[in-house]
Structure formats: C-alpha cells, structure tokens
Amino acid sequence: MRAIAVIAVVLYHFGVKGFSGGFAGVDIFFVISGFLMTGIIFRQTDAGKFRLIGFYLSRAKRIIPALAVLCLALLVGGWFLLIPSDYKELGKHGASSIAFLSNMVYWKDAGYFDTASHEKWLLHTWSLSVEWQFYMVYPLIILAARKTFNFNTTRILLVALGVGSFALCLYASTHYPNTAFYTLPARAWEMIVGGLVYLFPVQMKQSHKQSASIFGLIMIAASVWFFTAADVWPGWLALLPVQGTALMVRAADQTSIVTNNKIAGWISEASYSIYLWHWPVVVLIGYYGMANNAPVVAAGIAASVILGFASLYLVEKPSRTIKVPLSQLPHLACYAALVLIVGASASLVFVKRGVESRVSDTVAAADRERTNPRDLSIE
C-alpha cells in the first residue's frame, strides 16, 4: 500500500500523464498511518505495556533522522545554489519542517496547487507535520477515553471525532481551502478511518478478501486517473481513495500480485525516504527550467528512487537499529536536540536574510530589486 501511495505522489509531482490525481497518495498514507498507530496503541494498552514516551520515541526514530538529513543537505546545497531571498525562504521552511509546523506555515502562504508553492523546497513536509501532530494528540485522546469509558464507548467516541473532522473538512474545502488541505482538524478523519478499520474488524473469506482488495484498488486507481488539481480537495472526493485504501487494508489479501510482490515490498520499505527526496528533485528541475524535458524528468524520477534507497540504508535503518545506552526519556531528548540543531541552523539562515555575503554585490543588489523593488537605495 505504501508503494502505491509513493508511486502515485512521485509520478504526479513529476507531471507524468495518467497521474493527475496522484496527490491522493498522501491520503493513502494517512489511512495506513491511522491503522498502524491505532493497532500499536490498543494492543499495547490492552497488554498493559503502552508507554507514552516509548510511543513518541518510536515515532521520532522513524521520522526525525531522515528528515533532519534532508533539511541539512538542502541547507548545504542552498548555500552554493540559491540567491539570498530563496535561501532565506528555505531557512524558514527548514526550521518549520523539522519542528513539524510546516503545514501551518504553508497554510498561511499560497495553496498547495498554486505555481508559487512548487518553488518551495520542503512543501511536501506539510503531510509529515500533520502526521506528527496527530501522533502527539491521538494517544492522549485514546488513553483518556480508555480510563473513562469501556472499549465500545471508546470506539464510538473515535467515530464521532472522525465524523466531526470530516464535516469540518467538507465545509472548509469550499470556504477555506487552505485550512481544509493543511490543518490537522480537517485531515484527522482520514487517519481515524484507518483506526476504525482496526477497531471494527470484519472477518472475510478469501474470495471476499480478493474482491474487496480489487474494488479498493479500482477506487484508488480512479482517484489517481480522474482527479486533477482543479478539483476541490479534500472533501467528498477524498472519500474515494480513503475508502479504497480502507478496503485494501481490511482485506489484507496476501494473494494480490499488486501489493504482494518483491518490487512493491522494496518500494514500500523505502517509501518514506523516496517521498522525502523526490520533491526537492522536482523543485531543482523546475528551478533550472527543465520541468518539461522528458529525459530530465525520467532522470529525476530515477534519482529520487536512488536517493530514497540511499537514505533508507544510510540513515533510516541505522537510526532504528543502533543501540543507545540510554533510557527512553534521555534517548528522546537526543532527538529533540537534533531537531534544535537543525532548526537553529535553518533559523539562522532566515534571520541572516539568506546570508547575502555568500554572493557578489551585484547578485545581492539584483535579488533585493527583485524582491523589494520599492526599497532600492540610490547610490
């Protein structure tokens, strides 16, 4: 499922025909995430083994190292490639991304589908910020509910939260599109749907699993093929990929040649890192005006996959398997320190206005004229 999601997103962002609705891949990720997190929380809670710090630590191990490396790599590359105003913008977005607040920054800026947004090197981290915010709040809600209510009432509460979030999403999609797209309250229902798939198990015969999986795949494929950036998103239309994903997750059909094959397994394992690295490659190609050059686009897709696997084996796996002789809280503090270091570096770039001293006086003056044409000083 992760392979389907990342392929859809990557090919959409690279402008490959037939994937005009590939942005729905993010919605697929949200449903999968909700299913997995709900399973972890409830299984450990029922066994009396759930620890909030441990949950946060596991999420930090999974997400922060690869994201931190990406942000640092872009800051280093931007030092040599970007003019001051663009580098300053990268600093702002790098700081908000590593702090998992980038969705709020982009919420205030241009919409996701606007041309201006496609010049932002870390635009894609909005979804990571939404997920992280969900991870912070969701276990607290479940723990409070389990202490107050029984299992069935807790499930009903989550249904109510999902319905409320969906209602907000529908209203905001037509009245406040950026709010609907970028904010957790309007997106939480997608992750809660995944959670409800876990909490309301349905026993299926093998033939029914196959049928449900095929139907779910058709729903996802229709979303990717027919939807476009011109559609109101999310909203009613988002039900199609969300429910399609829920069907496939519920079916868990191990006989499917689409999801149960080695290539899908490899891509799924590297999906997070591929997602992280593909968008900066897209922006880089666009930055140099080569977004419509087919060979360059093909090379960009290949580079995204290569960088993704490099990140998987050089960053993700080592950070998850390395043995740290620290208890959970100090271990979590190490990840917080990493966030602070990257965030401080990016913030410094922003405060220093993109470090104009990197470039010649002529380039700096031309950049100031481009960004602040009314503020020119006459010498």
CB 213 within 8 A of CB 251: yes
DSSP conformation letters of 78-103: HHHH--HHHHHHHHHHHHHHHTT-HH
CA atoms within 13 A on the CB side of 131: 27
Within 10 angstroms of residue 323's Cβ, the number of other Cβ atoms is 5
DSSP conformation letters of 112-166: TTSGGGGG-TTGGGHHHHHHHHHHHHHHHHHHHHHHHS-HHHHHHHHHHHHHHHH
What's the CA gap between 184 and 129, in Å, rounded?
9
378: Cβ contacts below 8 Å, ≥ 6 apart = none
Tens-digit pLDDT string for the chain (379 aa): 899 999 999 999 999 999 999 999 999 999 999 999 999 999 999 999 999 999 999 999 999 999 999 999 999 999 999 999 999 999 999 999 999 999 999 998 866 777 677 889 999 999 999 999 999 999 999 999 999 999 999 999 999 999 999 999 999 999 999 999 999 999 999 999 999 999 999 888 888 889 999 999 999 999 999 999 999 999 999 999 999 999 999 998 888 888 888 999 999 999 999 999 999 999 999 988 898 999 999 999 999 999 999 999 999 999 887 776 678 888 889 999 999 999 999 999 999 989 988 888 888 888 888 777 555 443 3
Q: CA dist 306 to 4, 270, 302, 310, 314, Å?
A: 18, 10, 6, 6, 12
Q: Is the four-CA dihedral 166, 50, 272, 2 of positive or negative sign? A: negative
CB 335 within 8 A of CB 64: yes
Measure the CA dihedral 175/177/182/184, to 10°: 30
Closest to 186 in 3D by CA, of 156, 166, 160, 209 = 166
**Radius of gyration for the alpha carbons in the chain, expressed in angstroms and rounded:** 22
Q: Where are the domains of the chain?
A: 2-369
Q: What's residue 370's pLDDT?
A: 77
Q: What's residue 331's pLDDT?
A: 85
- Tokens linked to 268: 């799924």
Q: Tell me the whole-structure pTM to 2 decimals.
A: 0.93
- Tokens linked to 249: 């997750």
DSSP conformation letters of 184-247: HHHHHHHHHHHHHHHHS-----HHHHHHHHHHHHHHHHHHHHH--TTS--SSGGGHHHHHHHHH
Q: What's residue 362's pLDDT?
A: 84
What's the CA gap between 138 and 143, in Å, rounded?
9
